Amino acid sequence: MALFDEFKKFAVRGNVVDLAVGVIIGASFTGIVNSLVNDIIMPPIGLALGGVDFANFFFVLKGDRAVDTLAAAKAAKDVTINYGLFINAVINFMIVAFALFMLLRQLNKLVAPTPATEAAPAPPEDIQLLREIRDSLKNR
């Protein structure tokens, strides 16, 4: 029973819940970035390179070297190095890293302490009076 209570206390702690929400949002964001790369960014790049689909950039290590698509190579159970998919994954990572950088940059601006260059507020009047008395006693 004590183990269950301890686990319940751990599971409902704020940090754990925040982490769970972050993981779920991150997984959803990954789907959006994958779609952005595969459906929006890569087709124009492929078109600019002569109508090539990056997902079909591969090198056959073992099997029929005459296959044209990665799907055909996989169907034939060929052993391939899929460097086009790797390029897509690198672009996905760069987009996610940039988006995360921009998010953290904005958060740091919101959380950053105010600069110390601002003038300190004037002390209350009674403190000023006590300082004047102290200074006049020093001068005697």
Predicted pLDDT at 115: 63
Please give the single-letter amino acid code of residue 134. R
Count CB atoms within 10 A of the CB of residue 8: 10
Residues 9-49: tens digit of each pLDDT? 777 776 777 788 888 888 888 888 888 887 888 788 878 87
- Report phi then psi at 25, rounded to 5: -65, -40
Average pLDDT score over residue span 115-134? 82
What is the CB-side half-sphere exposure of residue 121 using CA atoms within 13 A? 3
pLDDT tens, residue by residue, 54-82: 778 888 888 877 887 888 888 888 899 98
Q: How confident is the model at residue 131 (pLDDT cuts 50, 70, 90)?
A: very high
pLDDT band at 135 (very low <50, low <70, confident <90, very high): very high
- pLDDT value, residue 109: 84
Please give the Cα distance from 68 to 86 (Å, whole number).
18
- For residue 50, what pLDDT is reported? 81
